[in-house]
Chain A
Amino acid sequence: MLTDLLIDAAKAIVAVLLVLNLATVLLWFERKGSALIQDRVGANRAAIFGIGRRLGVPNLGVTNTFVADPLKMFTKEDFVPDQADRFLHTLAPFLSLFPVLVTFAVVPFGDRLIVGSRVIDLQVCQLDVGVLYLLAVLGIGIYGAALGGWASNNRWALLGGVRASAQMISYELAMGLAIIAVVMTFGTLDLQEICRRQGGAWFGWLPKWGIIYQPLAFLLLLTAGIAESKRIPFDMPEGESELIAGYFTEYSGGKQAAFMLTDFAEVVLVSALVATFFFGGWQVPYLYPEGFRLPGIGSVLLPNLVVAVLGVLAFGLKVVFFCWLQILVRWTLPRFRYDQLMYLGWKILLPLGLINLAATAVVIVAVAS
């Protein structure tokens, strides 16, 4: 009993730490990566007593992002504007970060790990209604932005908050429809089960990943996901040129850091969801619980530990890849206009999602009968 509890706690801690760290690394990558994309050099000045320079290590802006920035963030004055709602103003950043982090509870990051007689499912919380939980908790995330904008007693922040809620509600629909199509395909709401059913291969070589059943849903989920994380090209709620910084205009120090972290945690979340639903989650092509079975070459038997570790690595790799893809999108596209945003959400993504849903239903019935 106690061991179970400890194992669960360990899994939860590992998952949260991984997400937070990946989010911070993304922040760094966004700085240096965007510099590379734009033919710049990027942050390369901050150093601690010039140690790196003396050792001849190139300054990659690591000190800047991982030491100087957090130090600044957490020693800055925690400013609450006059006449702002102090309680809600403080609550908002946590309300925005918390839902993103808890959604990772149902995202499986590996297959079963067998230790002695104990079978550990590499998923923080095995929920039969994982997908419902995911959609429900993601919905709460809107409150963070909306409340932050509302409680700041600032026109720009309020506008940002309103835009954020409008945008997130619009795109949540498309996201939901895309996910429902996947759920219909695999016939389960449990994310671990969805991963399992993507194992195996057709004709012995084509991995049975969700992207092959649902290519359209993949595009819908990725687009809606980027919109959901409020990043360029969908960063209307923050639009610096119009709204200063949107709903977190009046935030400073740690609370602002929480909002920023939310953005990057959402990037990780969207990547994790896309990987789970469409790219087999922790599935490695041709890797089965007992080992590799390569088409036309032969098979290699592997112990369970190796298979589990390979699975976790594969999942991590997929997540990192999609994070990178999202950052690439962010530095490629300019911001949409507000009407374009709504047009895309309601008149393109939503109908496409419905059509996809209907088509999926027809195909499933046709195949079954």
Chain B
Amino acid sequence: MKTPTGMTLRERVYLPEIFKGMLVTNYHFLRNLTLHFAHLVGLAKERSAAATVQYPDQRKTYSENFRGSHRLTLRPNGDVRCTACFMCATACPAQCIYIEAGEHPDPQVEKYPLRYEIDTLRCIYCGLCVEACPCDAIRMDTHVHPRIWGFDRKDFIETKEVLTHRSVVLEEQGRDGNMNEMLAWYKEQERRPYDRLRPELKTYTERERRRQELEQADHAERTAADMLVNARPSDG
């Protein structure tokens, strides 16, 4: 074995260095042990005994400039600020913004979005929509991360109502409001029946049979469609 160069004799004897290392280990051990005991009797609560966060009991607050879910900002009178100019939809590299423009009753405002939907399954949270917006109508400062799970794709499509509601919540409840709302949504969804279409199918076998039936039906449908396509006379 080559002896590593640049080490002092003391380092090469190794034992003193091990001892030093063990002192460090031991320091952490004793400090955390003491802190845990102190916490038990209600002392030193502000000093944490661990560097880890006990999610979901504890939550780390996102930083001020965290780029989270979108929201549509509101005018002072509560109307949505967006003028349906389509700049965001054009800038969006994922092409996940769908806007349907409508005429605003107020002649001062030209257009407003009848529908404004973001497909968050496609969104890459790049923030280009926010950059593109000329009226500061869309922002990503909600301090809430994208929804992690849902039962079907519809759960991930954020409509105009959802997006404007976030602005209201942010206004009323502060930066934790939207996060709390999302966690409440998770809790609510946990109680949702497994198969929303057929809540009476409780057992796994029943569900499985139903799934196979659907699959077969789907397959039959596709085969029929294929036959149609194939039967179409070619343009030759």
Contact = CB atoms under 8 A, between A and B. Distances in A.
Given A219-B15, A333-B18, A38 B1 contact: no
B104 to A, nearest CB: 54
Interface size class of B (residues with CB under 8 A): 10 to 19
A106 to B, nearest CB: 30
B21 A36 contact: no
A328 interface: yes
A116 interface: no
Interface in B32-74: 32-33, 36, 40, 49-52, 54
A74 B142 CA distance: 49
A54 interface: no
A36 B28 contact: yes
B18 A328 contact: no
Contacts, number: 45
**Chain A contact residues, majority secondary structure:** helix
B95 interface: no
**Chain B contact residues, majority secondary structure:** helix
B29 A33 contact: yes
A39 B25 contact: no
A340 B1 contact: yes
A348 B84 CA distance: 78
A118 interface: no
Contacts of B52: 39-41
Contacts of B54: 41
A175 to B, nearest CB: 18
B28 A37 contact: yes
B22 A332 contact: yes
Contacts of A79: none
Contact of A41 (B15, B22, B28, B50): B50
Contacts of A331: 25
B13 to A, nearest CB: 10
A215 B88 CA distance: 76
Interface string A54-74: 000010000000000000000
A4 interface: no
A35 B29 CA distance: 8
B51 A39 contact: yes
Contacts of B40: 58
Contacts of B49: 36, 39, 41
Interface in B110-161: none
Given A333-B18, A340-B1, A328 B50 contact: no
A40 B50 contact: yes
A329 interface: yes
B200 to A, nearest CB: 31
Nearest to B25: A332
Interface in B147-186: none
A13 B109 CA distance: 90
Contacts of B216: none
B18 A332 contact: yes
A8 B81 CA distance: 89
B26 interface: yes
Contacts of A41: 49-50, 52, 54
Contacts of A39: 28, 32, 49-52
B27 to A, nearest CB: 9
A199 to B, nearest CB: 29
Contacts of A343: 1
Nearest to A343: B1
Contact of A328 (B1, B25, B32, B36): B25
A245 B54 CA distance: 30
A36 B22 contact: no
Contacts of A219: 15
Contacts of B18: 329, 332-333
A340 B40 CA distance: 44
A339 B1 contact: yes
Interface string A24-37: 00000000010111
B21 to A, nearest CB: 5
Contacts of A329: 18, 22
21 contacts: A36-B32, A36-B36, A37-B28, A37-B32, A38-B28, A39-B28, A39-B32, A39-B50, A40-B50, A40-B51, A40-B52, A41-B49, A41-B50, A328-B25, A328-B29, A329-B18, A332-B22, A332-B24, A333-B21, A339-B1, A340-B1
Given A332-B25, A343-B1, 16 more contacts: A33-B29, A36-B29, A36-B49, A37-B28, A37-B32, A38-B28, A39-B28, A39-B52, A40-B52, A41-B54, A328-B22, A328-B25, A329-B18, A329-B22, A331-B25, A332-B24
The 4 closest A-B pairs by CB, nearest first: A39-B51, A36-B32, A332-B25, A332-B21
